[in-house]
Structure 1
Amino acid sequence: MTCSIEINSRIIGLLNPVYIIAELSANHNQNFDQAVQLIKAAKEAGADAIKLQTYTPDTITIDCGNKYFRIGKGSIWESRNLYELYMEAYTPWEWQPKLKEIANDLGMDLFSTPFDKTAVDFLEKMGVPAYKIASFELVDIPLIKYVAKTGKPMIISTGMASLAEIDEAVTAAREAGCKELALLKCTSDYPADPAEMNLRTILHMTEAFGLPVGLSDHTLGITAAIAAVSLGASIVEKHFTLSRSISGPDSAFSLEPHEFKAMVEAIRTVEKALGTVHYGVSEREARSRVFRRSLFVVKDMKAGEPFTEENVRSIRPGYGLHTRDLDEVVGREAGYDIERGTPLTWDLVVRRNIVL
């Protein structure tokens, strides 16, 4: 097991910059120019990678109108036929090599989620640097093994999966030759309810599998993604659209460019703030150290006058004796006249007489 993976020389894992993926999904609305605009907008918003989905209606389901192929209540796609939905949502395969070239020219990675072996073969010819396994395909063990045999890094989304199911998928990928594997915490609801995100699972998954863990986020807004980073997420994937006003199967729970950019900026700030385990004075804190408390004479004193808690106090700033010395000072005498506001030092204090 390894706590990092590498995609196009980019190390992804704890203590490395979060890998931020813009999921295009169906937000191109079957328009190539719109897909290109999405990629360019994602670059401007700070995405590290573009993710596509490689399927056709016939590679993901069958054309059947009975009740088993209709989406149930409570979904944004309620009552829709699966085949018809996927016909509307799929990304034409002939686009994908062109989109990869555009993304690469902009300095971004582009990879995809395959949904069958033909998609894997196609993506291998495209030369994608990695593969994503969708949550719904986590239980497709033959597909996972087929992808693993490519030797490319794999990112497996875990929506709906039990711990045992995740373990089965991870084991299958490993046994089939995958050496670089990451997991994504996911709630497979669209949009997802923040109350059902259970982001603390990220910590447990990291410990349980010893793998980089990220978040595939379907909530509205950016809060969950930012919180996930604070819990150790090393990958964040969000659906990306030019505008939610552009109707489409996924637009309702996708981020617009300005929102995606705000998320990226917040994540970059959070990862800097997380830092490493550190105690003591930081470089920029050093100038503030002087404002700590110390012992000061707070009333004018004559030589021979005893120090008391009325004329010596622990106050800011920090030029005097340490506050722990207060009990040792009280009761002794001043060796000199001392002006109010003088930091107390041992040379101002008469040593105690030692009685033999």
Structure 2
Amino acid sequence: MTPKTSTITTQIVEYGWRQAECWHQECWYVSTLDPLGIDQAIKELPTLNKNKDVEGIVALLRRYLPTPDLVNFFDFPEMLACMRDIGLFLGSLKRHGVEPVEKVPELEPVLGILGEKTNMPPRDTLFHYTIWNPSGDRLRTYTGTPDEIALIQSVQMAMRPLIESIHHLEEMHESDPLDAQFAEIGQAASEAFTGVISGIVQAKRYVSPHYFAQELRLYYDPIIWKGDSYYGPGAVEMPMFLFDHLLWSSEITDSKYVEFKKAYLAFNQPFVRELYDRFEGKPSLLQKTISALETTKDNRDSQEYLCAKNSAKMLLGVCNMLKSFRMPHKKIAEESYKSQHAGQSQPPQEAQRSHGSGGYTIDILSHVLALNVASIDALEEAMK
């Protein structure tokens, strides 16, 4: 069979997912797809999980698991939707202590094809679970609980404005801090980023840290595929690290932080990786602005210095907005870990669960925040 090619597949292949104006439409299109014909049956999954019915989960998965030939026939958006739906079964089995590929060996080639053809990992990611997830009655969940639904919605709320903000930061790199347009684009990035903050507020308000720690995050534990471990959907997979990269951290060489950023590239869409690689080791927007201030400060009445100062003020505002996101995110994570280990001793086999859903310990958030604050301090010093 010859693989299908839809109009939107051609658009994705030719233009990528980078354009903020069409990205949301493409995400919506994937969410409308049901290539496995599982819309009704997948509603059984929350009950099966509640009853810890592993054999029922396996039977339902096998009933709808496509053959490798069928998967190869799917077009690109259908492959994304296919991985989205299979992913719910991967996390469900893992939550009950079962390695999915060991229990259902037929998964191995299917996951391999989906990962290779979509240029993503051989399992579902945060993107599959949230922005490619249908809304309303077709929403895919592990538990069907209000907390899980609110968690999915919080990421959906945050992801679109985050991508828009990243797009604006990329545009700023094509401008100059000595150009008035630099601050204008930065203002657009700042306005878009308010949506990201709304997403984290939604999560803090409606997702119980205790329930997340004791129940939801167990569905995101890593699975084994061909000897390697792959984490499931985790908020840390959001390309916030790319926002940081473009704004203030592309030239930072701190090994712990660089390792953290690079760990999540594979879990992101190809355009995120391309942008990260393009700016790695080059001056960030913050560093460019500091340099502009330093080269013009000898004549503080000049138009160039006044423009650089205006760019710096705008950039400082964006950095402070980033802090207003990072602080509550850190607090939510700390509350979740506190709930997770309250009154419990941790057996060796549970060691991985002292880590977040993305595999890192809580201290990485403090480390990133400290680096972020240091960069803001450097900008403020240059503005004096």
TM range (shorter): under 0.3
More strand as a share of residues: 1
TM-score where L is the length of structure 1: 0.27
More helix as a share of residues: 2
Q: Which entry has the higher C-alpha Rg, 1 or 2?
A: 1
TM-score where L is the length of structure 2: 0.25
